[in-house]
Structure 1
Amino acid sequence: MAERMIDPSLLALLRTVDTPTVCNAIEVAQGQRGFDRYTRGTMQHSRPGDPAIVGFARTARISGLAPPTEPPEVIRARRMEYFRSMAAGPSPSAAVIEDVDAPDCVAGWWGEVHVAVHKGLGLAGAVTNGVMRDLDVMDEGFPVLAGSIGVSHAFVRVTEIGTPVTVHGLRVAQGELIHADRHGALVIPTEVFDTLEAAIQTVMASEAIVLGPARAPGFDIAKLEEVWAAFEAART
């Protein structure tokens, strides 16, 4: 797909808010509930509490459960082509990698070496349904959101580059903008780029209607009834 540039102020804001807030804000921007381009189920985060991964997706598929049938030189050449693809495209970028062996993923594509390499190539992080490992020695500043944690690289190799991928129920095409943190990942539709910053501010302002009084002394059911009506009127 053709990537759209993202406004620097929106990018800066997206890096400071969590993925559930972005999910809510997309619904505000769309004017309705029902947005569903997000991951399902619980995923593992390499560094919970790190800023969100925000980037245009660089996609690929991997496999590692069974030995390869292709010649080694073909596998080596495809891996280097994979790295070229990861390094290409607009910034910010993020790797979105589908392990086709799911739900029997065993191969840790994301470990100390690949985190260092992808970070060095300028990517902001990675989202995968596959395995990560080497948690204690991963470089800082490159969060990984993965399907599981494991110990082996098994027979891992790249099988496809740049094709649409599915990670925990989320379909992602190369070039789509993703937002991901310890809660999961989502795709930000291009049609909300121009209104998403205001929508995020709307979400935070509407939640403050309840959060402020709820955290203040003297909060009770009467106060809740008063502020909840205002909250309902302000939210999507």
Structure 2
Amino acid sequence: MNTELLDLLKSVDTPTVCNAIEVAQGRRGFNRFTRGTMLASDPAAGAMAGYARTAKISALAPPTEPADVIKTRRMDYYRYMSEGPRPALTVVEDVDYPNAIGAYWGEINTTVHKGLGLSGALTNGVMRDLGDLPEGFLVVAGSVGPSHGFVHVKEIDIPVKIFGLDIRPGELVHADRHGALVIPEDVIPVLASAIGKLLETEKLVLEPARQPGFDFEKFQEAWAAFEKART
């Protein structure tokens, strides 16, 4: 992904990207997005985009595997997160969901991930230490809680599911306070132009609606132009 596209993706929200994908595909029905309400660690931080580095965790109960196995996997996890194409997002499924209690995403872990070159985190699990997380590292999570429980890594570099969205390692993910989506690979080359077309088309309604004297007749005119531009 080139720098221009990355900057553009970070400048628009996830609903805009969701609509732009349909513009690029020439049809409605795109459905690779999260379901339900997710929480952003910093709602004003905007969006994040990157290639998924995936894992699964659990925290409800202590691990049953030997301690040396858990420690080795933990280091394998951080090594894996430090590698791969950039920009990258860490996408972690908490297998305890919907009963997740272990906040894997606190001040220390987010700071470590940012230091390893990750751009943000997407999870169905728990985050904490709000207000103390590093600037420039957005977490989009399923809940907020105070405890880390018995959190431990169970699997690395595997397909995961976050709020109904299946994500495979290496897929391009866009996320913000609205949730997340996976950008289809075949759309990437034309996504910038699709976003531009979408934003220009929306102005046909938004600009008249923001002017004094806007009424139903002006709305009809604006909507007709909007419909014509979308076809």
- With normalisation by structure 2, the TM-score equals 0.99
2:32 match: 37
Residue identity matched to 2:183 = I
1:155 match: 150
The question of 1:140 aligning with 2:135 is answered yes
1:189 match: 184
The question of 1:81 aligning with 2:81 is answered no
Residue identity matched to 1:133 = R
Which blocks of at least 5 consecutive residues in structure 1 are unaligned? 1-5
Residue identity matched to 1:29 = A
Residue identity matched to 2:135 = E
Q: What SS does the corresponding residue of 2:114 show, helix, strand or coil?
A: helix
User: Superposed, which structure 2 residues align to 1:1-236 within 5 Å?
Assistant: 6-235=1-230
Query: Partners of 1:226 and 1:51 in 2: how far apart?
Result: 33
Q: What SS does the corresponding residue of 1:60 show, helix, strand or coil?
A: strand
Residue identity matched to 1:57 = A
Query: Partners of 2:78 and 2:15 in 1: how far apart?
Result: 31
Q: Cα distance, 1:116 vs. partner?
A: 0.4
Query: Partners of 1:23 and 1:222 in 2: how far apart?
Result: 30
Q: What SS does the corresponding residue of 1:103 show, helix, strand or coil?
A: coil
- With normalisation by structure 1, the TM-score equals 0.96
1:3 match: none
Query: Partners of 1:53 and 1:226 in 2: how far apart?
Result: 36
Query: Partners of 2:230 and 2:146 in 1: how far apart?
Result: 45
Residue identity matched to 1:43 = M
Residue identity matched to 1:178 = V
Q: Cα distance, 1:11 vs. partner?
A: 1.2
Q: What SS does the corresponding residue of 1:194 show, helix, strand or coil?
A: helix
Q: Cα distance, 1:51 vs. partner?
A: 2.6
Query: Partners of 2:208 and 2:131 in 1: how far apart?
Result: 41
Query: Partners of 1:211 and 1:188 in 2: how far apart?
Result: 26
Give aligned-pair identity as a percent. Answer: 60
Residue identity matched to 1:39 = T
Query: Partners of 2:92 and 2:217 in 1: how far apart?
Result: 50
Query: Partners of 1:119 and 1:28 in 2: how far apart?
Result: 33
Root mean square deviation, CA, Å: 0.8
Q: Cα distance, 1:139 vs. partner?
A: 1.0
